[in-house]
Amino acid sequence: MQSGEANQRIARISAHLHPSNHQMEESSILKRAECRAKGGAPGFKVAILGAAGGIGQPLSLLMKMNPLVSVLHLYDVVNTPGVTADISHMDTGAVVKGFLGQQQLENALTGMDLIIIPAGVPRKPGMTRDDLFKINAGIVKILCEGIAKCCPNAIVNLISNPVNSTVPIAAEVFKKAGTYDPKKLLGVTMLDVVRANTFVAEVLGVDPREVDVPVVGGHSGVTILPLLSQVKPPCSFTAEETEYLTRRIQDGGTEVVQAKAGAGSATLSMAYAAVKFADACLRGLKGGAGIVECAFVSSQVTELPFFASKVRLGRAGAEEIYQLGPLNEYERVGLEKAKKELAESIQKGISFIRK
């Protein structure tokens, strides 16, 4: 055996005996990662920013299982070494690398096709999503500045709340940097759709996988507008059922915040919803046809600059944005309420950057 090879084997064995320190990028484990990378499956490169959090961890786990992902970068300001070591042992195709702290943000982002952002603080009982604004607005700004610099062509899935304001913030950051592509910035409202499908299925007594409820508007309180008149398969609801379902879908997040009693907001169902949405984006990037999901995007569907509605996902991101379709009287009233609150939240986001 050549001495170079022998040295490599010794280095690999000693890397197992003396696990890496927290400087993930620098350690001798790096060589092992490179070895594994050669065996990685072909696919997309995905980064999760806020990967060590309540949403970030199950989201990282589920993305590691996604066969469309070849490289998975996990970035956070805390605890990524542990999360990365843990998830990297899963025998799925994606190669996982961890990045810790802002000095490693650029390496985490470079070359990525899709960025998923669940970074930020979650709600506690009594807080609205808007109360999170100050902290999360600053976090989203920093992360988007990094994206503009290192992977301006990547699709961005923004989860950090308040989505109604953080998406306009991200748009302003990208505009300032000259990299804004409205098709590639998507606020994740999939959890509202997931909840709507579940609650409607409960009322109808059917399997939620057979139900598709469009949810439009935004992602907070009355801005969440389920279009129960457009549920598939076609069905009808009494006025009482409509009121119950609309309220429950709008307050779904608060239901979880209260049940968790101070321990945060939805994380597991959110991770599921985020992966469902990210998977749709990746299938779109791959050239798949007829991929339609709801998302909060730059829009001309109403007079507001951003609005959630059904979008068709393709190679360029949200390639087509669908009109709302016929609304009933209950939904028309809901739409007016939603637009009023949305307008303020959008303006708040824009002003945060333009101030």
Ligand X SMILES: NC(=O)c1ccc[n+]([C@@H]2O[C@H](COP(=O)([O-])OP(=O)(O)OC[C@H]3O[C@@H](n4cnc5c(N)ncnc54)[C@H](O)[C@@H]3O)[C@@H](O)[C@H]2O)c1
Catalytic positions, please?
Answer: 219
**Counting beta carbons within 10 angstroms of the beta carbon of residue 10, is it exposed (0 to 12), middle (13 to 18) or buried (19 or more)?**
exposed
To the nearest whole angstrom, how small is the minimum distance from the Cβ of residue 151 to ligand X? 15
Q: Is 195 a known ligand-binding residue?
A: yes
Q: Using CA atoms, how far apart are residues 117 and 257, in angstroms rounded to an integer?
A: 20
Please say which residue, 64 or 123, places its beta carbon nearer to ligand X: 123
Please say which residue, 56 or 214, places its beta carbon nearer to ligand X: 56
Binding letters toward ligand X, positions 37-66, x by CB under 6 A: ------------xx-xxxxx----------
* Helix, coil or strand: residue 228: helix
Strand partners, 298: 306
Contact between 342 and ligand X by CB under 6 A: the answer reads no
Contact between 257 and ligand X by CB under 6 A: the answer reads no
Of residues 122 through 141, those in contact with ligand X by CB under 6 A are 122-123, 132, 136, 139
Contact 155, 115 (CB under 8 A): yes
Of residues 170 through 229, those in contact with ligand X by CB under 6 A are 188, 191, 219
Q: How many residues bind ligand X (CB under 6 A)?
A: 33
Contact between 120 and ligand X by CB under 6 A: the answer reads yes
Contact between 101 and ligand X by CB under 6 A: the answer reads no
DSSP letter (8 states) at residue 153: T
Q: Using CA atoms, how far apart are residues 144 and 285, in angstroms rounded to an integer?
A: 21
DSSP string, 281-340: HHHHHTT-SS-EEEEEEE--SSSSSEEEEEEEEETTEEEEE-------HHHHHHHHHHHH
Segment contacting ligand X by CB under 6 A, of 86-94, 159-167, 239-247, 283-291: 159-167
Residues forming contacts to ligand X in the complex (CB under 6 A) are 49-50, 52-56, 76-78, 118-123, 132, 136, 139, 142-143, 159-161, 163, 188, 191, 219, 264-267, 270
